[in-house]
């Protein structure tokens, strides 16, 4: 049977690190990351732009339709 004090002692406390070690760790993690090739980045950027245009057109059409509907009902 463990007591509350034993549970607290069982938790490991990380060693205090310098503030600059954070940046070294960030750089190390960024080097591990998978970075897209220029072609992949271009293809995905074009895909995002196409989706933005499509959603914008749909929302614009809905806005126009509701505007005309409310003008007919209220005006």
The predicted-structure confidence for 3-53, as pLDDT tens digits, reads as follows: 665 555 556 656 677 878 999 999 999 999 999 999 999 999 999 999 999
pLDDT confidence of residue 26: 92
**pLDDT surpasses 90 at 74:** no
pTM value is: 0.57
The dihedral built from the CA positions of residue 22, 35, 53 and 70, taken in this order, carries a sign that is negative
* Cα 48 from Cα 60, distance rounded (Å): 18
Rg of the chain, C-alpha, whole Å: 28
* Cα dist from 46 to 3, 25, 41, 56, whole Å: 60, 33, 9, 15
* Cα 53 from Cα 69, distance rounded (Å): 24
pLDDT confidence of residue 41: 97
pLDDT confidence of residue 50: 98
């Amino acid at each position: 049977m463990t007591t509350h004090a034993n549970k607290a002692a069982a938790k490991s406390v990380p060693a205090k690190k310098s503030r600059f070690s954070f940046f070294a760790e960030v750089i190390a993690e960024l080097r591990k990351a998978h970075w897209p090739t220029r072609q992949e980045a271009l293809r995905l950027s074009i895909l995002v732009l196409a989706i933005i245009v499509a959603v914008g057109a749909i929302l614009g059409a809905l806005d126009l339709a509701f505007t005309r509907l409310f003008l007919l009902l209220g005006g």
